[in-house]
């Protein structure tokens, strides 16, 4: 019964102060839309990063005079490495055929003067985690069957060392920046909701004073304002969730039907995401938005009303 009274009071306040309520809803909308945009961008960034990491390859070139038993021994070593996701042995003939394919139609003319195959055999190794590339590659630097051009050099083991480091650093930096921006917008949302509720409190200061004089408890006075903030946050975040998901769907559908499918844009789920956190767009944003509204109202009551 009392909960119904609180809701009626909250809804009545929203109607009476609809301009301030609209401002609060827009504030939550902007904050939660930003969070939704970050979730979509991070989902796509993670997908792109995973794709790039899966392409990181270590190529170990083998000396031409290496016997089959030595190659088998190295293959057994590679197969036993827990960091290795998969690998492939490329013979000298296979390497030459791949080189011809890259040259295209002029391959036979360009390679006509070759009397022997200059390309070595190699192992192409893919690791489970791009962070493990350096450690795995280092295990082949001093191997006697690796085709290093001179003693002390490691050019027989080829991998994009600096590219991998820069890629991992960039991914980490962008992820941290996005979540930092989300945190700042969330703080801004709480502060703006506090300001809106504070204005609502000021407009009803006489009513609140009368309630205190007749013996209303602090929480009896607080609850309508907390629910007002909750409802404001709920509406703003609901609209934001549907808007961001709609934009994500439109972009995804447009790219899927165009020549830009290679961009591989991910569709963020609306309801659930394989049972992991964060959940789908709608429950995540609505939960955070309603919580922001309630917290902002509660803080405003405590700091500015002193009840």
Alpha-carbon Rg for the chain, nearest whole angstrom, is: 31
Model confidence pLDDT, tens digit, residues 66-114: 999 999 999 999 999 999 989 999 998 898 888 888 777 776 676 767 7
Q: Are residues 88 and 152 in the same domain?
A: yes
pLDDT value for 277: 64
Q: Are residues 110 and 186 in the same domain?
A: no
Q: Are residues 174 and 34 in the same domain?
A: yes
pTM for the whole structure? 0.62
pLDDT band of 30, cuts 50, 70, 90: confident
Model confidence pLDDT, tens digit, residues 119-163: 889 999 998 877 788 889 999 988 889 988 755 556 788 887 666
Q: Are residues 177 and 241 in the same domain?
A: yes
Q: Could you tell me if 143 and 137 are in contact, meaning their C-beta atoms sit under 8 angstroms apart? A: no
Nearest residue to 64 (alpha-carbon basis) of 133, 149, 3, 141: 149
H-type helices in 55-160, by residue range? Answer: 68-80, 92-103, 107-110, 133-138
Q: Are residues 267 and 287 in the same domain?
A: yes
pLDDT value for 202: 73
Q: Are residues 172 and 288 in the same domain?
A: yes
175 is in which domain, residue-wise? Answer: 2-52+166-305
Q: Are residues 296 and 147 in the same domain?
A: no
Count of domains for the chain: 2
Q: How far apart are CA 280 and CA 169, in angstroms?
A: 28
pLDDT band of 47, cuts 50, 70, 90: confident
CB within 8 A of 114, min separation 6: which ones?
none
State mean pLDDT over 45-58: 73
Which one is predicted more confidently, 69 or 51?
69
Strand ranges in the chain using DSSP code E only, listed in sequence order: 57-61, 84-90, 122-127, 157-158
- Which pair of structure tokens corresponds to residue 302? 């405590």
pLDDT value for 1: 47
Domain boundary (122, 141, 159) is at 159
Q: Are residues 10 and 113 in the same domain?
A: no
Mean pLDDT (the chain) is 79
Model confidence pLDDT, tens digit, residues 154-202: 678 888 766 666 776 777 787 788 778 777 777 776 777 677 667 767 7
Nearest residue to 195 (alpha-carbon basis) of 3, 26, 32: 26
pLDDT value for 261: 60
Q: Are residues 177 and 293 in the same domain?
A: yes
34-38, 53-57, 123-127, 275-279: segment of lowest average pLDDT: 275-279
Q: Are residues 9 and 152 in the same domain?
A: no
Q: Are residues 105 and 199 in the same domain?
A: no
Q: Are residues 126 and 86 in the same domain?
A: yes
């Amino acid at each position: 019964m009392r909960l119904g009274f609180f809701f009626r009071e909250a809804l009545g306040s929203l109607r009476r102060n609809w301009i301030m309520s609209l401002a609060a809803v827009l504030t939550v909308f902007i904050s939660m839309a930003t969070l939704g945009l970050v979730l979509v961008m991070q989902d796509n960034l993670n997908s792109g990063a995973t794709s790039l990491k899966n392409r990181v390859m270590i190529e170990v070139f083998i000396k031409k005079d290496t016997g089959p038993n030595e190659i088998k021994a190295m293959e057994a070593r590679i197969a036993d490495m827990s960091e290795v996701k998969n690998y492939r042995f490329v013979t000298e003939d296979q390497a030459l055929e791949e080189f011809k394919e890259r040259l295209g139609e002029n391959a036979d003319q360009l390679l006509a003067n070759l009397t022997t195959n200059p390309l070595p055999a190699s192992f192409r190794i893919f690791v489970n985690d791009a962070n493990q590339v350096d450690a795995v590659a280092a295990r082949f630097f001093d191997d006697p069957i690796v085709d290093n051009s001179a003693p002390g050099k490691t050019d027989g083991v080829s991998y994009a060392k600096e590219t991998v480091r820069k890629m991992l650093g960039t991914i980490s930096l962008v992820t941290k920046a996005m979540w930092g921006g989300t945190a700042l917008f969330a703080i801004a949302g709480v502060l703006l909701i506090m300001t809106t509720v504070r204005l609502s409190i000021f407009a009803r200061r006489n009513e609140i004073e009368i309630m205190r004089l007749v013996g209303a408890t602090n929480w009896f006075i607080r609850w309508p304002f907390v629910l007002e903030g909750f409802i404001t946050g709920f509406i703003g975040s609901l609209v934001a969730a549907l808007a961001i998901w709609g934009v994500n769907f439109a972009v995804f559908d447009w790219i899927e039907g165009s020549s830009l499918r290679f961009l591989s844009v991910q569709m963020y789920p609306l309801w659930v995401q394989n049972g992991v956190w964060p959940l789908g767009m709608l429950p995540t944003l609505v939960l955070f938005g309603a919580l922001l509204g309630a917290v902002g109202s509660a803080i405003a009551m405590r700091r500015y009303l002193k009840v």
